[in-house]
Structure 1
Amino acid sequence: LVGPNTASCSEVFTYYAQRAGVLAVGEATRGVGNSGVTFRPLPDGGVLAVTMLRAYWPDGTPLPERVQPDVLAPTDLGALTGEGRDTTLQAALDALNGHAR
């Protein structure tokens, strides 16, 4: 299960899992899976975030910025809060049972 709050190492893990044949279900991820960031304090109390690396395959191809799910299943907040039904989880269970939409 992935979504807009899936980021960083979770994106990298999901990307490699997809390449191994695992289905990702949900929505596109946050988009920081191919980079590393360091944070430095500033004298005024602020913080500077600096991207310090990119992840690449051995052939020099960068990992994708974000993961696109194999089964698009956005969370229906109305169903979740009103009915207690998790539409993204149900889509994942359907995919596991061979009934992907």
Structure 2
Amino acid sequence: MNKMVFKINEQKCRGCRRCEAACSWTTSGMTNPRLAGIKIFKSEEEGRDYPVINQTCYQDFCGKAHPKEKGNNVPLCVTTCLFGAITLEGEVI
């Protein structure tokens, strides 16, 4: 079992939804954010975007990694985030 923990920094999220697109593409072979394990919720009142990762992703590594980085066990949602809103803490095994 992996000991990595997602760290979400919603202040860095810009709402680009690259993480959603990357996750959903590797799941289904097409880009469909409804199938992604991560969702970006927008708060129009606050003017903020909030990345939310589903419980399954928190419990175990999904196996979705960038093809050039398959061996490092870093989820695709982390590697595609350009702004550092999604990172990992702890030991990645």
* Same-fold call, TM cutoff 0.5: no
The two structures have a TM-score, normalised by structure 2, of 0.28
Give the number of the structure whose alpha-carbon radius of gyration is greater.
1
Q: Which has the higher contact order (CA 8 A, sep 6+)?
A: 2
